[in-house]
Structure formats: C-alpha cells, structure tokens
Structure 1
C-alpha cells in the first residue's frame, strides 16, 4: 500500500491506517484471538500504520496491539498513540466501563492531564503497555475542554520529546475541526487527526482545518469515515456520530447510495475514498474488530471509482460543487 510522509517529518503512513478502538472492546467485547486476527489481516492487506490510545478499553487496545506487532520488524510499521488521559488503578472491581463506551472491567479511572509531566507519564505508561521502546506519532487526545493548557504545556512537552528523538511526529486528535485549526495555527504540529468532520456527509473541516493545514505544511489524518455507521449501512435507525441519525441525514445517505449503485460502486467504497480528493489528507483511519471487517475496508478502498460518480453526487446537490473529489487513480 502506498505510503506518504507526515508533514515535514521522516514518519510515513500508509494511506489506510488501522484504528485500534475496537481492540479495546468498543461497545462489545472482542476476544484476544479475534483481535489478533484483525491486526494480522490488516498487515496482510498492506496496512503498516496502526493507531491506538490509552482511552481504548483502559489500555486493553494498546496491550493487544503491542503483543501482535512485537512479532513484526519494528522498522516496517508506524505506530501512533495518544496522551491526555492518565489511567489510575482503582481498588477492587467497581463494575464495567460501558459508560465510556468500552466493555471492559473498570479497573482504572481516567484522569485528564495535559501538563508537561502528564504527557511524559502517559507516554511512559503507553510504552509499557505496548511493550515498545518508541512510538512514531503521538497525538493529544480530545483536548476540547483543556485547549489553553494543551497549547501552553502539552504541546511544548511533545515538541521537546520530538527534539529528543523519543517520538517522530506530534499532533492532536479531535472530533471538531475548529479547535484543531487553532493547534495548526498556534503550535508546531506535524499532523492532526480529525474524526467525522471530513466525510461524504460532513465537510466542515474544509472551511478551516484543511486550508490551514495546507498553508502550514501539516498533514491531516481523517477518521470516522462512516460517521459511526450511517455511511456504512444507511437505513432508518442508523447512527450518525454515535446518536440516532435524523430522517434528513438518512434520506441523504440513501440518495448517495442510489447514485453509487448506478455506477456499480458500494457507498462504503465512496465513503472510504472521498477524503483523498484533498491533497492534504495523508491517511484514513479504519476501525475494525475482525479480520473480515478490515479486509472489506481495504477491498472497498481498492475498488475503481469512476470520475462520473463524484460528478453525479455534485450535480445532484449531494456534495457541494466546490468540494475537491478524488480523480481516477487518486
């Protein structure tokens, strides 16, 4: 799979990245064998960039991903994780973590910490869980409610770690493009990860984040390609950003599916490829909880998509006319 550089760094990424949230038992449990098979299938399909976070299953995702990747040559893949939430053990079992979205025992509590010390402690804990001696890319994770501290304290700490060679690339990951734009303009980030804000149904990142990143030479990684489900299987009752999708959004997604069908292309394929119409997008993160899911995602990514499909989506008003779209071979 084709690889590109992240901004001005020496860190590269495959066009598709493996998202490790499901390895942390996102919403429902996944057994160790199934989780390992998903990572193995991603590797077999050519994916060499793997993303995780302490938040995902209270460290379960990091532990599982590390166990599988430690059997691979370290120079052949790129690994990213996140800082900003410290995991602190609790005394005894106090239920599960489903309130935070993960089907794991609540053995730890999360504590927000975007101080310089918190960044270093979080990274040290992640290295232990992963069983690694280095991480290629580190993101500040969801600093929405801590922007001033994240910019004033966490980012300088990451810049120092980058200067020391402990990490190769630094950035921030959020579900909102506006705050990420502030990071691009006010700090020396190499890459930002934006989830759900540059998809077939939501191109809000095009108004602020993508132009700023392009101007500053920062790379953009996109996640949430299916907006949590609606673009994967549009139907009444489907979810959009982890809540029930409105009737208007369901109707729009169904119309997109009809346009895609006329060209013999699954809507999922268009959803995976769409963001690559913008030259600043370096990679798309695809979450998977099984080998079949990640194999299907790569298959959709590889499908030929005629330029006429994008043109039809635009002329029908389902995509704005000024949104950059992939061209054949993009």
Structure 2
C-alpha cells in the first residue's frame, strides 16, 4: 500500500475529514485486517503528513504488529535540493520522530537522480550515510528508489543495496525496466514495482488521458494503449486489472506498490488483482508494446 497521497486534500475536503478518512485506512492496516501486510512511505510524502498519519495509527495499535512491514525513504531538502549526508541524517531523524520508532525494517535513498550516481556514491555522500545507518542497526535493510533505469542499474550493480523500487518503467506499455529487474533478481534483491498504471492512464480513467508517467504521452504510447484497451474490451476485462496483474505475475517482482487513500480504493484494487485474465491476452499485448526508443528514459 503506497501512501504518497496521504497529505493535503485536493478536493476541498477539510483536514479533519481527510485525517479521519486516512486514519480509518491506517488503523485497518495496523489491525492486520487488510489484504496487504506492507506499507510504503517517505519523508516527503504528503508534505511529510504521510509519516505522521502512519505514526499516529501505529501508536493507536500499540506499535508495529508482527508480520507487518513498514518502509520509508530518506529525502533531499526540497527547498534547496540539499542531498548531503547531513541532510540524510536529518531526514532520518524526522522520519523516526513522526513514525514514533527508533528502528526501521527498510530504508531507501529516494530519487537520487536529483544529483546523479557519481555524487550520490561519492565519499561522504548520501549513500555512505545510508550504509552507516544499516551498520549502526538503525535499519535492517537498505534500498534505492528512483526513476531512470540506467541510473538505478548502476546503483544495483554496486551490490550495496538489499532492495529496489522502480516506477513507471515496467508496465504494460514501458518494458524499459526489464534488464534492471534481471540485475536485481540475479543479486537476490527485494523488488518493489510502483506506478504500474503509468500515473493513472492505464486505469482507463479519462481524467488521466493525455499523460504517461506524469508527462505528456507520446503518440506511439497512446496508440499502444488504445490497442491494448480494445483487446481488453474484447476479452471482457478492465485494462486496470491487466495493468496490475502484469506486475503481480512477474516472479522477479516481490511487491507491487499501489496508492490508496480510502478503503474503497483498496477494495477496487483487490478486485482487479483477482480478475480472471485469459492467457492469450498477454501474448497479444506483447505484440503491440511500443519500442524502447519511446520509453520514459529515451
């Protein structure tokens, strides 16, 4: 369950109502009554409100129950893009305080493309700080979370990381993350695949038409989506279910991160996960995937 949307409401909803709605979802998670045992957040999600709401719910539950997994991420200071080691320690301290814990199961460096591989890996830089956090047993495992697959592969190949989060690069219409998943699987890393709906367009919701991966959609990608939508309609299954199960069915992917801000949305996701998809549909979809030259990183 992804929590990047656990922040200020964009619909005019009051803060009290927003916190109550998300609090209900968070309480259900920590009660173990949801069909997921894994929650993903970040220092910056929801203007940092996400971690606070999780921490409040975890306190109401009396701590993190056995069998549940909580992961968060170290973030640069957004006001000036400070990605220094000192900022990583500040980010950690803020997260621990909001979550109300002194130890984490999983901790990632978040969006290192903001400074690039060389600076992130430099002595005294943010990755070194993250490694120190694991050495000091503040976190059990460390990972890297970002966008461009070429850069992520460089991080994976250092063999410093236990886990990976990739987003928008392994979906029905963008397979550019394939080699990255192979590299992570070869090393036995935990793999989280996020944004499997490409920012929303692969849900079939017309509100997201015209974009992919939060950018204007390329004509080749739109043509592929139109063709896949037609195949799904013919097969009698929603494209959102196919987009979700594309990730769920890949053995290299251990967790698919799906955002939810209300119980009803999570129910919809589980219905999509359980939808019956004809095996021949996958082969037909594979024939109309755009070439790598039109991927997000091309």
What does residue 45 of structure 1 align with? 34
CA RMSD of aligned residues (A): 2.4
TM-score normalised by length of structure 1: 0.77
SS of aligned partner of 1:169: strand
What does residue 145 of structure 1 align with? 114
What does residue 118 of structure 1 align with? 87
- Post-superposition Cα deviations, 1:190-248, rounded to whole Å, max 9, x if no partner, equal 11101100000111011x31122122222221111111111011658342112343444
Pairing partner for 1:83 from 57, 67, 74: 74
Alignment of 1:260-271 (within 5 A): 260-271=232-243
Distance 2:81 2:126 in 1: 12
What does residue 56 of structure 2 align with? 67
Residue ranges of structure 2 left out of the alignment (5+ in a row): 292-298
Comparing both chains, which one has the higher relative contact order based on Cα–Cα distances under 8 Å and sequence gaps of 6 or more? 1
Pairing partner for 2:155 from 165, 172, 183: 183
Pairing partner for 1:274 from 228, 242, 246: 246
Confirm or deny that 1:288 pairs with 2:260.
yes
Which has the larger share of strand?
1
Alignment of 1:1-330 (within 5 A): 18-25=1-8, 31-40=18-27, 43-72=32-61, 73-86=64-77, 110-146=79-115, 147-152=117-122, 153-206=125-178, 208-233=179-204, 235=206, 237-314=209-286, 317-319=287-289
Q: CA deviation at 1:48?
A: 1.2
User: Greater shift after overlay, 194-203 or 142-151?
Assistant: 142-151
Distance 2:290 2:225 in 1: 14
Distance 2:101 2:194 in 1: 25
Q: CA deviation at 1:44?
A: 3.0
SS of aligned partner of 1:80: strand
| Counterpart contact for 2:173–2:290, Cα < 8 Å | no
Which has the larger share of helix?
2
TM-score normalised by length of structure 2: 0.84
Distance 2:79 2:68 in 1: 29
Q: CA deviation at 1:282?
A: 1.0
Q: CA deviation at 1:38?
A: 3.2
Number of residue pairs the alignment of both structures matches: 279
| Counterpart contact for 1:45–1:298, Cα < 8 Å | no
SS of aligned partner of 2:261: coil
Residue ranges of structure 1 left out of the alignment (5+ in a row): 1-17, 87-108, 322-330
